[in-house]
Each structure stands twice: as C-alpha cells, then as structure tokens.
Chain A
Amino acid sequence: MTRELSEAVEAARAGDEDAFRFLYRTLQPGLLRYLTALVGGDAEDVASETWLQIARDLPSFTGGEFRAWTVTIARNRAMDHLRRQRRRPSLPVPVQALSDLAGDADTAERAGETIGTEAAIALIATLPQREAEAVLLRAVIGLDAETAGRVLGRRAGAVRTAAHRGLRRLAAMLERDDRRSAAATEGAPPRPRGDLRRQAPHAEPADG
C-alpha cells in the first residue's frame, strides 16, 4: 500500500494524471472525514482547497510520508478557514448536541449493529479536538503516532495519550448508549448525564 502510494506520487509528479486520480481516490476519504471533524459542514470546500494546493505544490514534495504531507496541508487549510470564520476550532459540536447524538436511539442502534461512517465521524468529532485529531489521524488517515505527532506539532507520546483517552471516551459513550437501550427495554429509568460527565471530565456541563 505504501509502496503503491509512493509510486503513484512519483508518477503524478512526472505528470501522470491517472496517478493523481489514484492519489485522490486513496486519500480524499480520509482527508474529508478528518476535515469534517475540524470544520464540520465546510469540509468539502476545505478539501477542495487542499487538493488545489496539493496539485500546485506536488513538485515541491521532497519525499517522506505523503499522507502526512497532504494531511498537513489539509490541516493548515482548515485552520485558515476557522481563522477566517473567527471561530475556535475546538469542540465544534456543543455538548448538548453530544448527548443528543449519543442518546439518539438510532445512533445507539447503529452503534450496536453497523454504525455508518458519517455517524462514526460525528461521534469522534464530539471528542475534545486533541483527542479527535489523534484518533482520526491514527485510525482514519492511517498515520503512526510519530508521524501524527509531526503533523500536529506534538510528541508521539502525547498523540498516543490523546488517542487513548479519546478511545476511552468513545467507549464510554457507546456503553452509555448501550445501557440506555438496555434500560429502555427493561423499563428502568436511564441514568442521565452524570455517568457521561464522570467519563468525560473535560467536557463542559451540558446544562447549568
């Protein structure tokens, strides 16, 4: 896979359009999902800007991990976008929406069976940004912790910790959904957000 990718990069740099198409099809889904977690509904636009820059700067790519190179471009474009919008990039989804999403019966059902890609990304996007980025770069883009650390400007250990925390948090959300559906079938009152709050100490209280 990696060798295939680097061959395609070389061919695309030489001007091979098919090779560039291959790169697009290989990398675009991960970039788009990562960007969705960063900028939400504007991800498609930012992805377009990203590919514009990739096409333009491809000759200057000097080797190394091509995925990391592209995802760095995507991340910079996303940060520019957020700066333009004067919006803070962290926690794009409020916690209220988080509990709504996590409490959604459909989500729970899907989580129990086959969760859709969009729902999965939406759930990951509810994590604190550091954790969400770590999880996405590792699991979706496919970078190792060291490379993800270079993209994020952090140490590999910090990326591992953030990804680990993110996974624990996600597991807690899924567990909560699961328990809710289980409790619903038994007729017992579901535990409200207290459990979630304990599992997610960094999250803001849902309501005052």
Chain B
Amino acid sequence: MSVRRPDRPADRAEADRLLDAARAGARGTAGGVPPDPLTDLLAAAAAPAGAHELAGEGAALAAFRAARAAPAPTPAPAPAPRRRRLTARALAWAAGVLATATAGAAFAAVTLERPPTPAPSPTPVSPGPGSDHPDGSPTDGTPGGEPGGGSPSPAPTVSPSPAATGTPSGAPAPDDVAGLCRAYLAKKPTQRDKALTTPGFQPLVEAAGGAGQVEAYCEERAAEPTATPDDADGSDKSDGTGNGSGKGKGPVNGNGSGNGSVNGNGSVNGNGPVNGGAPKQDTSKANGNGGDAAPPGRSNGSGNPNAPGSGNGRGSGDGEAPGNRSGGAPGRGDGGHLPA
C-alpha cells in the first residue's frame, strides 16, 4: 500500500527526541537533503526569527520605558486573575453581610432600650431584630395598628406595616409624625394626654407645636387624602383581616411582611417587605379601596417571644372597632436570633 513511509515517531520518547532536536536546530545538519520531512518541518517551525517577526520591537520597548516611568501600583501576574476576582467578590459580600449584621444588632439594641410607649405601630416597621423583648404582646398585625388596646408594649416586634393594619389609607407613612398621629387618634380621649407625655410621641408634639395642638394637628392631617379612606361611602361596617409575618434571622436579616384586607366596602391589600438593615424604611404598599377600618380599634395580641439569643415572636391580634368594624390580624414574628 505504501510505497514509502517517512519516519514516524514510534513512541513518545521518539517524539520527545524530535521535539527537542527541533529546538536545538537540527536542520541543515544533514547537509542538503533533509533526512526526515518531519524533522525538517519542526526545524522550520523553530527557525530563527525573520525580520518581519520583530517588527513590534519599538512598541515593546516603548511599553518597557513607560512601565519603568510609571510602575503599575499593583502589577498583576498573568496567571489566576480569576481567582483574585472571586476573592474580591467574596470579600465584598462578607463586608456587606457584616455591615447588615452590625446595623441589625444596633437596631435591636435601640429597640430593647426604648421605654415602653404606646408604640406608634404602623410607622416604624420594625423587623425581626426587635422581637426579643420579653412578652412582647405584639401589636403586630393588629388591624388599625391599634397599639393601645391590649398592649402598651415596647416597640412592636414585627409590625406588619400599615397595610396589615387594615387602614385603607394604605399609603406608606411618609414619616414618623403621620404614624404617631394615627396612633394618637386611635387612642381613647382619656389616654391621649397621657400618651403625649411619653417620649415616643415627642416628635408629634414638636411637629404640632405643643401638646395642646396635637389633636387639631392630627385631625388636619387625617383629612389629607393619604390618611383618609378613598371611599368613604358611609358604611361603617367592615371586616378587616390582617396578616403580618416577620422574620428576623439573626441580627443579619429581617424580613417582615404584612397583609391586610378590609371587607365591607372595600378591601385593602398591603404587603410590606421590610429589611432589617433599615429600620425606618417602610416599603409597604397598600391599595386601599373603601372600608374605614381605621382606628379606633382594639387589638388583642399575644406574643411568645423567647429570650434574646433566638427569638420567635408570634402574635395574633383581633381588632374590633366601633361601628361593627372588626379586624383580625394574626402576626407572626420570628427573629432576633442573636449570635449565640
């Protein structure tokens, strides 16, 4: 079949020999006729440089001079740049987690130290980290955000956001004052004055310009569209249900969500995801449509938060409002797992 076979490398050792010979420059040693086409091919591939191959010398030298003039701050060796990128990303991630954890712990500490106030429940939607206080008779998930009824407890552990409160004024509370106003108006008249003496209501007092002005101030604010039901058709009967759940996992992340619905002449749905790192942040969203389930209302809450370390808070509240309004809001808070 084959007339003539050129020498082929019989094994790897032979191949190694050929490859090494190529580098050593075996060509031409046979003088004229090359002994083996393969050897010749390899020798040609390893031949000395042609002039055109060195055309980039000037540019390379310029690069060399430039590098000497301004040495790179962090000269990166070529191999394994990917790993470094990965490490950097991991470091950034860890730093983010640490920052979040620190913020959560700080907030938890603040919450724990806060004096027992009638809890401006709807506004400071406090996520998990706060759920550690003892017997936190959670006002979570109370429709109408009614803190007064059952629980003058410390700040709500997981207050399921305005939406869960069942207030048709589902718009996120713009600031503390609006929430304080609602809390204030939710109180019985006999309790109002007393409430204003607590530190928690001081922002409201200041905003109103004095303790005596608060009522007028809040009523004025309540007249604003965001604080009033969209549909006030006079029906005074509504059923409100609210669900609030909050989860705080360690001091790192806190999640809270609340759902509230009011049936009667409307329904309110709200979802409030809350991030633990930003206590003031209230990202709840609610669509309100009729149904005045706003305060006053009453809520009964029970909570069984465990001691710090790992806290689970579960609260269920039933709110009953005058005028046949009723709202039920089970709230669940689970959080405050402090690093053991």
Contacts and interface: CB of A to CB of B under 8 A. Distances in A.
Contact of B53 (A21, A29, A53): A29
Contact of B77 (A32, A52, A61, A136): A61
B54 A20 contact: no
B19 A167 contact: yes
A47 B52 CA distance: 13
Contacts of A124: 41, 45
A73 B78 contact: yes
A111 B71 contact: no
Contacts of A170: 38, 41
A140 B46 contact: yes
Interface residues on B, range: 35 or more
Interface string B23-51: 10000000000100110111011111110
B76 interface: yes
Interface stretch (B57-65, B92-100, B130-138, B265-273): B57-65
A142 B15 CA distance: 14
Given A171-B9, A175-B6, A119 B44 contact: yes
Contacts of A190: none
A51 B56 CA distance: 9
A174 B64 contact: no
Contact of A178 (B34, B37, B61): B37
Contact of B78 (A69, A112, A139, A163): A69
Contacts of B71: 59
B8 interface: yes
Given A55-B66, A58-B67, A21 B40 contact: no
Interface in A158-177: 160-161, 163-164, 167-168, 170-172, 174-175
Contacts, number: 177
Contacts of B11: 164
Interface in B68-123: 68, 71-72, 75-79, 81
Contacts of A62: 77
Nearest to B42: A139
Nearest to B57: A24
A174 B6 contact: yes
Contacts of B46: 30, 139-140, 142
B15 A120 contact: no
A182 interface: yes
Which among B44, B54, B64 has the greatest number of chain A C-beta atoms within 10 A?
B64
A60 B37 contact: no
B2 to A, nearest CB: 7
B5 interface: yes
A120 B45 contact: yes
Contact of B63 (A51, A171, A172): A51
Residue in B47, B66, B71 with the greatest tally of chain A CB atoms within 10 Å: B47
A97 B76 CA distance: 39
B56 A28 contact: yes
A24 B60 contact: yes
Contact of B57 (A21, A135, A168): A21
B12 to A, nearest CB: 5
Interface in A99-137: 111-117, 119-121, 123-124, 135-136
B293 interface: no
10 contacts: A20-B64, A29-B48, A47-B56, A51-B59, A57-B75, A119-B44, A120-B45, A138-B20, A174-B6, A179-B3
Interface of A: 12, 15, 17, 20-21, 24-25, 28-30, 32-33, 44, 47-48, 51-62, 69, 72-73, 76, 111-117, 119-121, 123-124, 135-136, 138-140, 142, 145, 160-161, 163-164, 167-168, 170-172, 174-175, 178-179, 182
What are the 8 tightest A-B residue pairs by CB atom distance, in nearest-first order? A29-B49, A120-B44, A51-B60, A139-B22, A60-B75, A164-B15, A55-B63, A138-B19
Given A28-B49, A135-B42, 15 more contacts: A21-B57, A24-B61, A29-B49, A32-B53, A47-B56, A58-B75, A120-B42, A124-B45, A138-B23, A139-B45, A163-B19, A167-B38, A171-B7, A172-B8, A178-B37
